[in-house]
Structure 1
Amino acid sequence: MAVRRLDEHSGPLETHCFVCSPINEHGLRIPFSYDDERAEVLASFTFAQRHSGAPTYVHGGLSLAVLNEAMAWAVVAGARRFAVTVDTTARFVRPLRIGADYRVRARIATTAPDRLGTTGTIVDGADRVCVEATAEFRVLSESTASRLSARVATRRDPSA
């Protein structure tokens, strides 16, 4: 199985992503990987008390953020394109608990010239589905991705 680690240098844009960047001190810092054979993004994670919504439960928005990030990485790693989410639908099957171990998986489900459909699932330690989602991403043109990349580089190097 060919699994490779994904990071902010894996895609066309470097970011300080709230979900995955290891240098975002306020972020979740979830490390994502891509299984080339299965064409699937994978990550394991545990939420802390600071991520709670109701007592002992993870805030639902955080599970959606993790799913959206996994599905976005599926686009970057699988299609080697940069895209933005234009629509997403989620179904909460069972609540996520603070301190429990979870895994997320995501993949590209459908393709069109400027759109990619994705699916994602968060499962618990017993492989029970907790949250599942679908999303549609609009692929950015090469020129738009290049302009965004140049803006990021300019912010990092004021002399550029």
Structure 2
Amino acid sequence: MTEEAGMDGAFGLQGNWLQADILINTDSEEEGEIYMGCAGGIDFTSNLHLDREAVPAGFETFKLTLKGLKGGHSGGEIHVGLGNANKLLVRFLAGHAEELDLRLIDFNGGTLRNAIPREAFATIAVAADKVDALKSLVNTYQEILKKRAGREREKSGLVAGLCSER
């Protein structure tokens, strides 16, 4: 049915084929098992007014990378507690945006709307006098993630590395 890449089978259904007051969605990953419900996913369009600016003079640009997470299907594995690379990287950026006077240039993570992302990338700029603080914070966060992975490897699948690159 090509569910993951276009829903061709579903679009091929005749409009009068299903008639009901309530629709119960079922899903399956393995032969002989049926899930009541689904992973869910929506597409939406949003218009945001963003104030764009050039990278200020005296700022340096870095690429932050968070990868090595297990990833997974948001339907069959959402309850397992897998690390979400987008959330973990955003948590770092939001938590230190003010103290680093951080400028977000680009953010990218995950490949499918129904998957728990295993990696995320952000391009940022910080003032030259904040570079050492950035490196220290990245190293500290990386250690926090490694400790969590060591304690919860079976539960969370968290095996991560966060690196800054010029």
Q: Does the pair score TM above 0.5?
A: no
Whichever of the two has the greater Rg, that structure is 2
Higher-RCO chain (CA-CA 8 Å, sequence separation at least 6)? 2
Judging by fraction of residues, say which structure has more strand. Answer: 1
